[in-house]
Amino acid sequence: MNDLKFAFRQLLKNPGFTAVAVLTLALGIGANTAIFSVINTLLLRSLPVKDPDELVSLSVAGPSSVGYNFSFPLYEQLKQGNRSLSGLFAAGGNGKRRMIASGIGGTETEFVHAQEVTGNFFSVLGVSAARGRVFTTIDDQPGNPQPVVVISDSFWERRFGGDSKVIGKTILLDDVPFTIVGVTPRGFFGFQPGESPDLWWPMQMVPQVDQGFWGQRLQKGEASWLRLVGRVPAGVGVTLARPTRWAVTFNSVRRPERNTRSWGW
């Protein structure tokens, strides 16, 4: 107690030193908290999907580049050439889009994080809806896509107050009407730690939502904008058809530094 009293008196006599000491402690505690949060998200906490250790993300090395971005035509080639993955989906960026909650009387424009995904997105991840339904490949058919969205549980609570009547309501996404068909389970944020889309919509709706070059990017091989994720059943090796132009690498989604297998493509 005497030592503590002495230390306290010294701190009071030296306010400048005390301020620096307190600031240093605050920065140290804050930095450690932030680092733990990242490690907890990336390494300790499992992805909120079925059997996350079976998920792999794809990276590609072409003649002059290496990256995680794929064009939609290349995604289709890889999907057709797959002989052992139980599923492979594509997802766009978690970009901001204009939304008006027109179906519940909203008139103000707000910005939401919306991600376009292929129709097998939820089935490959093994995620079902907590309310309503998730969309499927039927909603994402080329030439006949359905304007539907699935919203996250956190967005449902934050924006719609957890109203169960939100299912079936209409929103305008970049001026295109979409119907809310489902709400994801609590804690689901997608497949990329650190990102948390507010809603997901079918990729085949891109031409209707976007204009110009970006509206036609499903057909353009030079537009590399997609992340690809597949599922490798336990104990099954990865085998794809192997032309020599591309080198495709499978990386653990939970531990991106771990390469599962590389094949030429």
* Residue 225 resides in a domain: no
> Quick one: three-class SS letters along the chain?
CHHHHHHHHHHHHCHHHHHHHHHHHHHHHHHHHHHHHHHHHHHHCCCCCCCHHHEEEEEEECCCCEECCECHHHHHHHHHHECCCCEEEEECCCEEEEEECHHHCCCCCEEEEEEEECCCHHHHHCCCCCEECCCCHHHHCCCCCCCEEEECHHHHHHHHCCCHHHCCCEEEECCEEEEEEEECCCCCCCCCCCCCCCEEEEHHHHHHHCCHHHHCCCCCCCCCCEEEEEECCCCCCCCECCCCCCEEEEEECCCCCCEEEEEEC
Residues 110 and 149 in one domain: yes
* Residue 245 resides in a domain: no
* Residue 263 resides in a domain: no
pLDDT at 240: 47
Residues 96 and 200 in one domain: yes
Residues 56 and 131 in one domain: yes
User: Which stretches of the chain drop beneath a pLDDT of 70?
Assistant: 33-46, 61-66, 235-265
For residue 106, give its domain range.
52-215
With contact defined as beta carbons under 8 Å apart, do 83 and 240 qualify? yes
Q: Cβ neighbours of residue 9 under 8 Å, at least 6 residues apart?
A: none
With contact defined as beta carbons under 8 Å apart, do 187 and 153 qualify? yes
Q: Into how many domains does the chain fold?
A: 2
* Residue 264 resides in a domain: no
Residue 152 corresponds to which tokens in the numbers above?
């996250």
pLDDT at 29: 80
Residues 15 and 79 in one domain: no
Residues 106 and 58 in one domain: yes
* Residue 253 resides in a domain: no
Residue 212 corresponds to which tokens in the numbers above?
């110009």
pLDDT at 192: 85
Residues 88 and 205 in one domain: yes
Residues 87 and 179 in one domain: yes
* Residue 86 resides in a domain: yes
Residues 86 and 192 in one domain: yes
pLDDT at 244: 39
pLDDT at 62: 59
Residues 11 and 87 in one domain: no
Record the pTM.
0.76
Cα 89 to Cα 261: distance, rounded to the nearest angstrom: 18
pLDDT at 229: 93
Residues 35 and 126 in one domain: no
pLDDT at 265: 37
* Residue 102 resides in a domain: yes
Residues 196 and 160 in one domain: yes
* Residue 59 resides in a domain: yes
Residues 57 and 33 in one domain: no
